[in-house]
C-alpha cells in the first residue's frame, strides 16, 4: 500500500521576535517566507498551513488553513498535532516558514530516507545543526505529541530525542538558515546563498 503524505507549513506563531508582524509574510528575496516554504512541498496533493492569525490571507494561497486546536499559542508541536488530526495522511512533511536553504529536491530526499528508517520522525541535519521541525512526521506520533502537550512538554528537541539519529544528513557544505529574527532575515537577504 502506498503511503499518503501531506505537507504542512508552520506559520502559526505570535512572531514575538518580529514585534508581532506575521513572520510568514516577511519578504525574503522578493517573496514572502510562506511562499518559499510552499515551494518545498510542490507536487503534494494536500498541503496544509498552520496559522493562528491572518488566516484569510493564508487561505488566499489556495491551501487549507488550520488554527491550533489548543488555546494559548503552545508552539509548533500544537500545529503539527492539529494537522495530524485534520488529515487522513499517514505522514506529514513539515516545513517551518522561517527555515530556508533546503535543496529543491529536499522532499524526494527526505521521503526516500524516511522509507529506509525504522523511525516515525526524520528531521534534517545540515552542515551545522539539526533542524527538527523540517522533516517527516508520521501519524504514529500523534499520541506521543498529544501526551507531550497535555503534560506541558513543548520542546521539539525533547520530543524527537529517541529518533534523532534518523535525521537526513545534507552535504556538510549545505547550511540552512533560520530567519526567525529581523537580524537573521537581514543577514539572509545580504548573503549570496539560497
Give the count of beta carbons closer than 10 Å to the beta carbon of residue 178: 16
Q: What are 92-133's pLDDT values in tens digits?
A: 999 999 999 999 999 999 999 999 999 999 999 998 899 999
CATH number of this structure's domain 5-190, picked from the four choices 3.90.550.10, 3.40.50.720, 3.40.50.1260, 3.40.309.10:
3.90.550.10
- Residue 185 DSSP one-character state: H
- Selection from 34, 31, 38, 32 nearest residue 7 by Cα: 38
Comparing CA positions, the residue from 4, 2, 5, 24 lying closest to residue 15 is 24
The predicted structure's pLDDT at residue 1: 55
Q: pTM of this prediction?
A: 0.93
Kindly list the distances between the CA atom of residue 73 and the CA atoms of 18, 93, 148, in Å, as whole numbers in the listed order: 16, 21, 15
Q: Is the pLDDT of residue 193 over 60?
A: no
Handedness of CA 42, 45, 51, 54 (dihedral sign): positive
- Write out pLDDT tens, residues 166-179: 999 999 888 898 88
What residue ranges do the domains of the chain occupy?
A: 5-190
Amino acid at each position: 500500500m502506498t503511503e499518503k503524505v501531506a505537507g504542512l507549513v508552520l506559520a502559526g506563531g505570535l512572531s514575538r521576535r518580529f514585534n508581532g508582524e506575521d513572520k510568514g509574510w516577511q519578504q525574503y528575496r522578493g517573496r514572502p517566507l510562506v511562499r518559499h516554504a510552499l515551494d518545498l512541498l510542490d507536487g503534494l496533493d494536500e498541503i496544509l498551513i498552520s496559522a493562528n492569525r491572518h488566516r484569510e490571507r493564508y487561505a488566499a494561497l489556495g491551501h487549507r488553513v488550520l488554527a491550533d486546536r489548543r488555546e494559548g499559542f503552545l508552539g509548533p508541536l500544537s500545529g503539527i498535532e492539529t494537522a495530524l488530526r485534520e488529515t487522513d495522511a499517514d505522514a506529514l512533511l513539515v516545513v517551518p516558514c522561517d527555515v530556508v536553504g533546503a535543496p529543491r529536491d529536499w522532499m524526494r530526499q527526505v521521503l526516500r530516507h524516511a522509507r529506509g528508517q525504522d523511525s516515525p520522525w526524520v528531521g534534517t541535519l545540515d552542515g551545522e545543526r539539526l533542524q527538527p521541525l523540517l522533516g517527516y512526521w508520521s501519524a504514529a506520533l500523534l499520541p506521543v505529541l498529544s501526551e507531550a502537550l497535555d503534560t506541558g512538554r513543548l520542546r521539539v528537541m525533547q520530543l524527537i530525542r529517541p529518533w534523532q539519529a534518523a535525521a537526513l544528513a545534507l552535504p556538510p557544505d549545505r547550511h540552512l538558515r533560520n530567519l526567525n529574527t529581523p537580524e537573521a532575515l537581514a543577514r539572509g537577504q545580504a548573503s549570496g546563498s539560497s
